[in-house]
Amino acid sequence: ELIELMRKGQCFVIQSVMPSSEASANTDPTVFHKRYLKQVRILGEGHFGKVTLYLYDPANDGKGEQVAVKSLKQENDKISDGWMKEIEILKSLYHSNIVKYKGCCTELGGQVVQLIMEYLPLGSLKDYLPKRNLPLSHCLMFAQQICQGMNYLHSKRYVHRDLAARNVLVENDSLVKIGDFGLTKYIPEGEIYYRVREDGDSPVFWYAIECLKESKFSFSSDVWSFGVTLYEILTRCDRRQSPPDVCHHRPLFQEAQGQMTVVILIKLLEQGLRLPCPKDSPHEVKILMERCWSADPSERPDFESLIKKFQSLHN
Ligand code: ADP
Ligand code: MG
């Protein structure tokens, strides 16, 4: 119960309000002290964030705990707001297919925090899949686990908005977890979509058609992105078949130099064009993937029904 309270209580507040009360901070397992964090190596970098592997070693005997630490690349008030939300969201999620929050680390004075999560040694699916030659049934098992994590996320009324192989982490050969909640938004009860206002770079090749046209993000637009993620898994994240690459090799993209990618992408999708079905996929998987990419969001399956489908497929 105490830990639960501490999780809810903001560790950065505890530290900034009472900088001298080391005693209380020492007993809070979610407070990480900067001086005990020893950098090991950089794990990955996205647009706004950077994730680094550290050894948290308060005893200074080299036996500490490995943790993944996410921080913002640049500090900026507008982004910083979303950053605190990302931390709050991850803090509130408990599921075996979602990366575990461990705590945070504050600069003296309570300034911007680093997010501490569990370290997943095998990296993202994008790092992992090309190196193995996973059989289809194994791929489908990963797909099902992603659906389980997404189903949980949706039950808490969050839309992820950035589901892609690069954001799915691998714990071991039989367990994957969803990570990167940087674009996640809460959808209030009774509403069905979230309209984004910020522009800037977005993972457009994973976006549903209504996201590209009207910036409407919903539970069903996550299902579309899941379809693209499934495509990535079935191509074993082969770079030459990556969604951006496949699109850029289409004649329309090559002719229309200078035109905005999004404009062409919308045109192609409106013509009914979709990513090709990966080679060894069974007919049922092909149908399922295509349903995730229905132009009409209400025709897309939800994650609960996808879980059942995968259960029957890989058993
Ligand atoms: P961004 O918001 O910048 O995209 P991510 O959270 O997606 O940041 O992390 C970027 C990359 O760092 C991931 O694609 C993955 O390769 C690596 N990474 C992130 N979190 C972890 C973790 N907990 N364990 C291992 N690697 C991770
Ligand atoms: Mg990412």
List all residues 6 or more positions away from 138 whose beta carbon is below 8 Å from its beta carbon: none
Most confident of 43-47, 145-149, 257-261: 145-149
CA distance 49 to 44: 9
**From 53, 66, 124, 206, mutation site for ligand 1 pocket: most ligand atoms within 8 A of C-beta:** 124
Measure Cα distances from 224 to 92, 102, 215 in Å.
Answer: 25, 30, 14
180 in catalytic set: no
Q: Which atom of ligand 1 is closest in space to residue 180's alpha carbon? A: 6
Please give the pLDDT value at position 87.
85
**Ligand with minimal distance to 90 CA:** 1
> For the segment 46-97, what is each residue's pLDDT rounded down to a tens digit?
777 889 999 999 999 989 999 999 988 776 665 577 778 888 889 999 999 9
Q: Ligand 1 centre and the CA of 49: distance in Å?
A: 8
Protein residues near ligand 2, an ion, with CB under 5 A: 46, 167, 180
pLDDT interval class at 15 (50, 70, 90):
very low
DSSP 235: T
Tokens of 13: 């507040």
Residue 41 phi, psi dihedral angles, 5° rounding: -165, 165
Report which bound ligand comes closest to the CA of 43: 1
Q: Which amino acid is at 302?
A: D
CA of 44 to the centre of ligand 1 (A): 5
Ligand 1: does its nearest atom lie under 6 Å from the Cβ of 48?
yes
Question: Which residue reads 């705990």 in tokens?
Answer: 65
Q: Alpha-carbon distance 255 to 267, whole Å?
A: 13
CA of 23 to the centre of ligand 1 (A): 32
DSSP 3-state of 68:
strand
Catalytic residue among 57, 127, 162, 245, which?
162
Q: Tell me, what's the pLDDT at 79?
A: 56
Q: Is 244 in the pocket of ligand 1 (CB under 6 A)?
A: no
Looking at residue 12, what is its pLDDT? 40
Higher pLDDT, 83 or 212: 212
User: Ligand 1 within 6 A of 179 CB?
Assistant: yes
Average pLDDT over residues 238-254: 84
Q: Closest Cα to atom 11, ligand 1: which residue?
A: 44
> Which ligand 1 atom is nearest residue 99's CA?
23
The answer to whether residue 24 scores a pLDDT higher than 70 is no
Give the pLDDT of residue 182: 75
Ligand nearest to the CA of 127: 1
Count of C-beta atoms within a 10 Å radius of residue 210: 18
Judged against a pLDDT cut of 90, whether residue 109 lies above it is answered with no
Q: Is the CB of 43 under 6 A from ligand 1?
A: yes
pTM, full prediction = 0.87
- Ligand 2 midpoint to CA 1 (Å): 32
**What would the two tokens of residue 313 be?**
């497929």
pLDDT tens digits, 142-186: 999 999 999 999 999 999 999 999 999 999 999 999 998 877 777
Residue 20: band (very low, low, confident or very high) from pLDDT cuts 50, 70, 90:
very low
Q: What is the pLDDT of residue 302?
A: 98
* Band of residue 13 on the pLDDT scale cut at 50, 70, 90: very low
Question: What is the Å distance from ligand 2's center to 312 Cα?
Answer: 31
Share of the chain above pLDDT 90, in %: 57
pLDDT for res 110: 64
SS3 of residue 268 by DSSP: helix
**What band does 11 get if pLDDT is binned at 50, 70 and 90?**
very low
Name the most confidently modeled range: 5-9, 172-176, 255-259: 172-176
**Does 16 score more than 60 pLDDT?**
no
CA separation for the pair 113, 154 (Å, rounded) = 27
Ligand with the closest atom to the CA of 171: 1
- How far is ligand 2, taken at its centre, from the CA of residue 24, in Å? 34
The residue with greater pLDDT, 96 or 196, is 96
pLDDT of residue 261: 78
Question: What average pLDDT score do residues 251-257 get?
Answer: 68
The pLDDT, as a whole number, for residue 260 is 74
With a 6 Å cutoff on the Cβ, whether 99 touches ligand 1 is yes
Beta strands in the chain (DSSP E): 37-45, 49-56, 65-72, 101-106, 113-118, 158-159, 168-172, 175-178, 185-186, 193-195, 216-218
Any ligand 1 atom below 6 A from CB of 46 = yes
